Structure 1
């Protein structure tokens, strides 16, 4: 019970206390589509839908989950990671063992990052991982300083559109999850990004007609992609968007 209470406090502190303030300098609103844990349907259906729009996504990979089916989906395998990378999608870090940041001390986090990077580089030496997402969405104030030295961005699952001054170690995101988001909600998120010249980040998992509680249907993804196209908002990977954010 104590450890869970400590984890919640660390997460709340991570939400509200910035390591430093970064001022977004993007010249236009932008959107990123991110997928966690490498479900096979995200690799196939999700990536193909992005590519049909001339876009690419960011796939946060935990090496220990590659090829390991989850209760809610069939997992992608090592060949899928390589294929995504070679097709221009970004591979991000989700720790190797898919452990919450709040459960790792500095040494353990360093080992998780090093192990995941080594695993991915063994698949293809040209894979360079510069983006991080918190497993299970749990942040850690203590680890934010460490992660700042390792990654350009750290994505949370705390809802919101990023604009103005932001915390790069705790970027807000919007669920692309059928159980949590509908088409009107997607449109409102795009409206906010357009009004505030913001960076809208979607997160999800599987992309299938009957998605898990953590995934989306192809129809919902198609609506989001169409919304970006109608508004002429570029779809960028996290790394691409960060380059634009630097001005």
Structure 2
């Protein structure tokens, strides 16, 4: 396989992140914004009953749902693309006999599980009006802690699999490492405190629909990124073609 500089992979990762960000923005706008509007309407109705806030928000809701949402999603996706590219620089040639495309796809899948899926299952996203503002810092810290734990446990599972591979074989060692990761994540779920701050009377269906929309956005982001990134990496690291065997002329 031809060598390639980290800068080349970084540029391609950020470009793939940009494309994935556009796809995620479309899904967020089509699926998520209606759920946000419904939650805001419930929040405003409750505020009107309790007390009047008076002042209008500094940024209009229409601007938040378009330019604000698009900017945030694109910046987030480009940053993730750069991180994935750096992880790929380390992973190439170190996680088995996989080509560049397969390695990029595996890295993307692993990042989706560790950075998005595992934290989401413990601390799922909530719509506006759900959650006590006084505990926002605590909830954010718990979520970031879950991401850090998930990444560390994934790294530990990978090291365990590599150590066991000479004795158990690659497949069996991978299965053992995966099971160890699942068990460690389950233990983390049990030890970390839960968060349940849903107000009384808040529609459970809206929370469920919002969380599904959030997961759909993240899945779209990572799936699009994985496909585009794998393609760009494969083009950047073209395998060296084996020279054709010379045919000896017959006399």
What TM-score does the superposition give when structure 1 sets the normalisation length? 0.25
- Max Rg structure: 2
Higher strand share: 1
Q: Give 1 or 2: higher helix fraction.
A: 2
Q: Structure with the greater relative contact order (CA < 8 A, sep ≥ 6): 1 or 2?
A: 2
